[in-house]
Each structure stands twice: as C-alpha cells, then as structure tokens.
Structure 1
Amino acid sequence: MVEARHLRYALALADHRHFGRAAASLGIAQPPLSQQIAALERELGARLFDRTARGVFPTAAGEAFLARARRALAEMSAAVSDTGRAARGETGRLRLGFIGSALLELLPSLLGRFIRERPDVRLGLHEMSTCQSATALLDGELDISIGRGAPRGAGAEDLVSVTVGRDHLVAVVGAAHPLAGQPAVGVEQLRGQHLIVAPDDEEPVVAGWLDALLGDGAGAAAAPGGGVTDARDVHTIIGLASCGVGVGLGPACMRVAARPGTWVCEVRPRVELPDLVMSFHAQDRSPVLAAFLDTARELCPGVNERLERLGRR
C-alpha cells in the first residue's frame, strides 16, 4: 500500500537526486530509504528512478508519479490546515440577526474585531426587529440574535441569553424646539407633544411606558395636541425630530447618531429599557459561534462572568 511517507521519500529523492542527501534531508539512514523506494517501485510495478553514476533521475513513470505525489501531499497539508482553522473558528459561517440600535455602540467594535481576526468566516448579517430575530433563531435560521430582552415562546428554554448592553430612554428634538437646550425633560413636559417612537417590536417598553405615563388609557395620542409617529429605527427618529415633527424617544445610545441641529436630553423619571441581549442555542457547539462569544467576552463588560454562570466556558 502506498502511504504518505512513500510520497515524501520519492519527492526528496527527486529533489536531491542522491540517496545519501535525500536520506539526510528526511532524517533517516540511507539503507531504509533505498529499501522503501524499491518497495514502492514493486508496489507500483514500475521503475521510478534511474540509478546512474551521475546521480538518481526520475524515469517517465517517475515523473508522472511525482507530479501526482506533489499534488496529493499539498492536498493533505491543506486538509490538515483547513481542519485546524475550522476547529479554531477561523472558517465557517455565522448568521446574526440584530436590531438597528445595536449598530450604534455594540456591533461596531464587536463585529469589527471579529472580522479583523477571522476574515474568512462567512457572515450572514440581518437587521431585524427583536421579535423577528427571536423567531428566526428559534426556527434555526440564525445562529445568534441580538435584541431587546430574551426570546420567549416555544423553544426559548433551549436558548442561552446573556446581557451585552443596557440602556435607558432619552428624548431628541430639533434645535428650534422649545425643549432644545434642556438637560432633561419631565413627563409633564412630554404631555401633548407629538412623539416619534420605534415600533413596539423594536423598543417594546416604550409603548407601555407611553400608555402608563403619558396617556389616559387610550395611549399618548389621546393627549391634547399630541400624536404618535412610528419610526423604523433610531435614525428615522432623529431625522424626523430634526425636521421639527416632534419629540423623538429612543435609547440613549442614539446620541452617537445625533446630527447637527438636534438636541438630546434625559427623560425624568429615568426609564430603563430592556437589556440588549445576545441569544443562541445552548447545544450549538460551533467553533465559529465559540469564537464570536470569545470576542464578546473580551469587549462586553460582564459577559464572560455571565456566560460562565450559564455553563459556557
């Protein structure tokens, strides 16, 4: 049977054209090399090398064999390398669903580091609402979801969910708005204002907060002179506020995206938003997922401790 060592022996002999020098390069004695080459020729039923006074030279059969041998050893080496890279999470695929506001503070550093360190991982990135990404994760269409709060529903007990960020509610207005310049705005000041908010499935706590504190049981739209405009994401909230449409309400991280001509102020009393949560299947032992989690451990305060408490070392 032809083995990988036979290929290496034949290639070394072809390169050095001398049994002694080839044996030295392989770290073996000359007699075993001569014996192995002779055994290989008997196995193949063809003479691979001409032994002459000037040296050892491949025959036509030997040249054909050596060409294949080089490719075979190269493929074996690549297989070993690819196996190691895959086991270290340097190749493969990662499907990530995330809410838009995660792009303001969390994902630029997290994804940036991951991509720099593992450029050959195929990333499937999908901006989704919290509800959509949770459903996609439970259905096996995502490997990780990042949204407000942990996924709920059938199958959620099979997920691991860990907090990767916390945030609270702030207000944003255009520079010409009466609230511009104030460090904070109270609930009473928001009554009657036209409010710009993300849909319930994007920032689910906001709708409930509006009903409880600003409305009269019918929601904020019932307040005199008020009304609510649903915005797709924080960029739309900021954009509409800058146009003078009303007061935008969103996570404090949207300060990062605030544009000239807008003013961001705190909301009093302080309203905590649901934690920004990263979720994945507990039984998923993919090296790529493990590598992504390692990056999160390094960049997100407290994530390492939370994962260890959940049994993910």
Structure 2
Amino acid sequence: MEARHLRYALALAEHQHFGRAARSLGIAQPPLSTQIAALEREIGELLFDRTSRGVVPTAAGEAFLARARAALAEMTLASVDAGRAARGETGRLRIGFTGSALLDPLPGVLGRFRRTHPGVRLALQELDSATGTAALLAGELDVAVGRGNPRGVGAEDLLTVSIGTDHLVAVVSVAHPFAGRSAVELDQLAAEDLIVSPDAAASYLRPVFGADRAPLDGATLARDVHTIAGLAACCAGVGLGPNRMRLIARTDIRFCDVEPRYRLPDLAMSFRAADRSPVLAAFLSVVRLNCSDVGSRLDDLLARHPSVVADAARS
C-alpha cells in the first residue's frame, strides 16, 4: 500500500464517481478502477459500493478513509518536519561558554538565534575554557566559547574563529585609592590583593607579572567577571579581567586601564570540523550576521564546511 492509494480512495469518496475522481487526480479512469480494486484485495474488504447512482463508501470504507486522512496528514507533517530539520529550524544546540562572553557578544547572538530559530532547543552551560574544550572534544557540546585557541590532544579536529578581542583592565571599589585613576601600572597591581578567575590565574595572566608568581598565587579566585566585580565592590581587592567588564552596570565600582596595555587571548568560538549539523550551520550563520568583524574570517575557516557556507548564502 502506497500513499497514492490513500489519495485515490479519498478522491473517489469525495467525488463518488470514478470518472470525476480520475479527472481530479489527473489520471485516466481505468487505472483508477484497477488501483481501487487492488487496494480492496490487499485489505480483504470491499471499500466502495458501486451503484447506478454513484460510488459510495461501505462501512469498512468509512473506517479505512478515516485512517487514510490521518495517515496522509501525518505524512505531510513528516515532510514539513524533515524540511525544517534540514534547514536547522529544529533540533538541539549545546553551547558551553566562558562567563565574559555573556557581556558580549553572546547576548546579541543568542537573542537573534532564538528569534529566528524558535524551534531549536538551546542547552547552555558556563564552563572555563579548558573544560569547554574537553566537553566539545568528548561530543558533549556542539559549540565552545572560550579564551584563546583550544589546546591539547584532539584540538586539531576543531575549527576555531575569534569573536572578540580584549585587553586587561582593573576593577576596584569606589572607595579604593585607584578609583579616581584612568590607569594603573603593573608594579602597583603587584602590591595589591588581586581577584581573578581560575582560568586566568592558571594560564594567560601568568606572563603579566613575569617571574614574580606571588601576585597570582595569592589571588582570590572568582568564578566569573560578575563575581570579580562584586568582590572588588566589597573591597576584597583589585579585580583583573577583560575590558568588556566595563559593560557591567554597577555604581559601586570603577575601572582602570592597565599599563603597559596587555592584550588578552581573544574570545574564540570552536566547533568540531566534522560536524555537519544543520543546526550548527544555522547558528554560525547568525554569528556571521551579528558579529560584523567575524564574517570574512568565518568564511575562510568554513571552506571545509560546505553545509555552513550554503546555509550562510541562503541567509
């Protein structure tokens, strides 16, 4: 039994005449009669009474037609759902991110993606850069946003693009002596109690103080930029973090540039090179649209990812 047999039976029930039903289907009458007879043999029941006044469904036919309508409706929905999935309009996307990415650019990217792809379920998890990379390589994430390029075994299987640059700034309470300054120097920071993220303390801030490990070894560790700012507001020390911390809207803290300026590793978005998911393709297209300085770099990077290039072209 095929879908066309269901359509033939429904057309015959609607028109109650083989000739009219055949014309509505765009076929000749003899093939329609043959197909209906074959359908009845397959089911083992007479579906239509052929009378001089027309063709009417039997009781068995009425029961069959009710199921046929439902089946064709489900087949139509299945086709629609398949098309939506192929376009990345449904499914799930798992994203791990470092906290500072929530200041910029993730709010704009995720907001736009939710508006344009409401059928996609987002699973979001805050992770430090190393943990995010490990989860991505283990297949537990689809996208990881962290500080700097992924490292370690398996990193060569990932594609990575910068989505934001940053330099180091200090954040202090309004009561701190640094609060009225536009900038502070590294030797001044080395004499302060510092507040940093574990990610920063263990990796990319190590070169800032050169051979002197004491400032970071004795630092207070805070989970994310909001905690760093909050602890600084409590006079717990001087917080160090990315310039995008200035987006935190608090009246009890002040920011100072660090001199000499120290560029932090870029915020980087990574995904598996072998991932051909339409949902990932749709997400990367939104990243391209929402992050004006990412587009050309993403184009170059995705030369090995044709499904994403095609999705971006449709956008």
- Counterpart in the other structure of 2:288: 297
- Counterpart in the other structure of 1:217: 212
Contact 1:131–1:201, Cα closer than 8 Å, also in 2: no
Task: Note the alpha carbon deviations across 1:138-164, whole angstroms, 9 max, x for none.
Answer: 222211111011111111111111111
- How far apart are 1:29 and its partner, in Å? 4.8
Contact 2:185–2:259, Cα closer than 8 Å, also in 1: yes
Paired with 2:26 and 2:273, the residues of 1 have a C-alpha distance of 48
Moved more, 276-285 or 7-16: 7-16
Paired with 1:218 and 1:169, the residues of 2 have a C-alpha distance of 18
Q: Does 1:285 align with 2:271?
A: no
Contact 1:148–1:203, Cα closer than 8 Å, also in 2: no
Paired with 2:80 and 2:192, the residues of 1 have a C-alpha distance of 62
- Counterpart in the other structure of 2:105: 106
Paired with 1:248 and 1:62, the residues of 2 have a C-alpha distance of 77
Paired with 1:206 and 1:258, the residues of 2 have a C-alpha distance of 25
- Counterpart in the other structure of 2:312: none
Task: Note the alpha carbon deviations across 1:98-124, whole angstroms, 9 max, x for none.
Answer: 111111111111111112222222322
Q: Does 1:153 align with 2:152?
A: yes
Contact 2:93–2:123, Cα closer than 8 Å, also in 1: yes
Map 1:170-181 onto structure 2 (within 5 A).
170-181=169-180
Taking a change above 3 Å as real, the CA distance of residues 30 and 199 of structure 1, as seen in their structure-2 partners, is same
- How far apart are 1:81 and its partner, in Å? 1.5
- How far apart are 1:237 and its partner, in Å? 0.8
Taking a change above 3 Å as real, the CA distance of residues 202 and 37 of structure 1, as seen in their structure-2 partners, is farther
- How far apart are 1:131 and its partner, in Å? 0.8
Moved more, 190-199 or 81-90: 190-199
- Counterpart in the other structure of 2:313: none
Map 1:1-313 onto structure 2 (within 5 A).
2-52=1-51, 54-200=53-199, 204-209=203-208, 211-212=209-210, 217-220=212-215, 228-310=219-301, 311=303, 312=305, 313=309
Contact 1:98–1:147, Cα closer than 8 Å, also in 2: yes
Larger helix percent: 2
Contact 2:128–2:199, Cα closer than 8 Å, also in 1: no
SS of the equivalent of 1:123 reads strand
Paired with 2:255 and 2:279, the residues of 1 have a C-alpha distance of 38
1:285 corresponds to which letter in structure 2? R
Please list every run of 5 or more consecutive structure 1 residues that lacks an aligned counterpart in the other structure. none
Contact 2:166–2:265, Cα closer than 8 Å, also in 1: yes
1:298 corresponds to which letter in structure 2? L
Moved more, 75-84 or 234-243: 75-84
1:180 corresponds to which letter in structure 2? A
Identity %: 62
- Using the size of structure 1 for normalisation, the TM-score is 0.88
- Using the size of structure 2 for normalisation, the TM-score is 0.88
Paired with 2:212 and 2:252, the residues of 1 have a C-alpha distance of 34
Paired with 1:219 and 1:302, the residues of 2 have a C-alpha distance of 38
Paired with 1:13 and 1:221, the residues of 2 have a C-alpha distance of 82
SS of the equivalent of 2:96 reads strand
Moved more, 199-208 or 290-299: 199-208
Paired with 2:254 and 2:20, the residues of 1 have a C-alpha distance of 78
- How far apart are 1:15 and its partner, in Å? 2.9
Q: CA RMSD in A?
A: 2.2
Task: Note the alpha carbon deviations across 1:219-245, whole angstroms, 9 max, x for none.
Answer: 2269xxxx5221111111110111122
SS of the equivalent of 2:162 reads strand
- How far apart are 1:203 and its partner, in Å? 7.7
Contact 2:171–2:239, Cα closer than 8 Å, also in 1: yes
Paired with 2:40 and 2:83, the residues of 1 have a C-alpha distance of 34
Paired with 1:241 and 1:303, the residues of 2 have a C-alpha distance of 33
1:116 corresponds to which letter in structure 2? R
Taking a change above 3 Å as real, the CA distance of residues 96 and 203 of structure 1, as seen in their structure-2 partners, is farther
Moved more, 9-18 or 34-43: 34-43
